[in-house]
Amino acid sequence: MNKLYYRYGAMNSGKTTLLLQVAHNYEERGMKVLILKPKIDTKGDQYIVTRIGLKRKVDHLIEENEKLEDYLKSIDDDIECILVDESQFLTKEQVDDLYKFTKLKDTSVICYGLRSDFKTNAFPGSLRLFELADIMEELYTTCRCGKRAKFNGRIVNGEFTYDGDQVAIDGVNQIEYESLCGKCYLEKVLKLSKEDYNGFTKEDIKNRLLIYKEENKTENIENLQLIRNELRKYKKTMLTLLRDEIDKELDEKEYTKTLK
Ligand SMILES: [Zn+2]
């Protein structure tokens, strides 16, 4: 095996837990692994800590501008695999060194890390890993709304924010993160809504629906043409609301029917 893997995901996608599980699997079969972590991730210091309480000392903390090649050249031949936690914090050069190591030392390296920062931009390490990795695997986690989460929203003092440095460690200085799907990221972090985007509010559409219903009763051709144009303008949103309204009415009718 001589492959560079990048297993990436949003926060809370179980990356570190999976890393420790993989280490355990190797060791159970009598094979040696090394666990590395960039020092910039101060969480746990010398240790890797997971949200579910697992803990393990790392074999090597990577300094911010360390020439990783020197360390990689020094490791023993009987190492089967290198596992890197929080690899988004590696520099481009350090990822290059890991890649060279996989090919020239015939040993696999599995990097675990984030896809992007709280502004949806790649970290230098993740960007280089996306460029170089032989195998990329996405780890999934779920947004509060139930959809697949891809992004990390930064929360400072309970509020989502779009300001600040790229690196701010979870749990330090009142900073927390929440994994979000694309839609929730736009709504909660960038404060964008469908209504802003479409240029009309739900209220506007509800009013149009009332008029639609009234006018529909008149069976006047001109009114119907007007309504058709309205429907075109509001497209999906209006049709969805119209469907919901009809559903509601049907439900009510069914209900009163069962009462009778
Ligand atoms: Zn969501």
On the question of pLDDT at 172 being above 90, the answer is no
- Alpha-carbon distance 68 to 140, whole Å? 30
pLDDT digits (tens, 9 = 90+) for 61-111: 999 999 999 999 999 999 999 999 999 999 999 999 999 999 999 999 999
On the question of pLDDT at 12 being above 90, the answer is no
Q: ∠ CA 237-239-244 to the nearest 5 degrees?
A: 95
So what's the pLDDT on residue 151?
A: 95
pLDDT digits (tens, 9 = 90+) for 201-258: 767 777 776 776 676 665 666 766 766 676 676 666 666 767 777 777 777 777 776 6
- Of 80, 153, 81, whose CA–CA distance to 116 is shortest? 153
Class of domain 4-140: alpha beta
Task: Kindly give the distance from the C-alpha atom of residue 179 to the centroid of ligand 1, in angstroms, as a whole number.
Answer: 9
Task: Kindly give the distance from the C-alpha atom of residue 156 to the centroid of ligand 1, in angstroms, as a whole number.
Answer: 19
The mean predicted confidence, pLDDT, of the chain is 87
On the question of pLDDT at 29 being above 60, the answer is yes
Task: Kindly give the distance from the C-alpha atom of residue 226 to the centroid of ligand 1, in angstroms, as a whole number.
Answer: 36
On the question of pLDDT at 59 being above 80, the answer is yes
pTM of the model: 0.78
Instruction: Name the segment(s) of the chain with CATH classification 3.40.50.300.
Output: 4-140
pLDDT digits (tens, 9 = 90+) for 199-214: 667 677 777 767 766 7
Whose tokens are 């007007």? That residue is 226
**How many residues does the structure list for the chain?**
260
**Active-site annotation holds for 203:** no
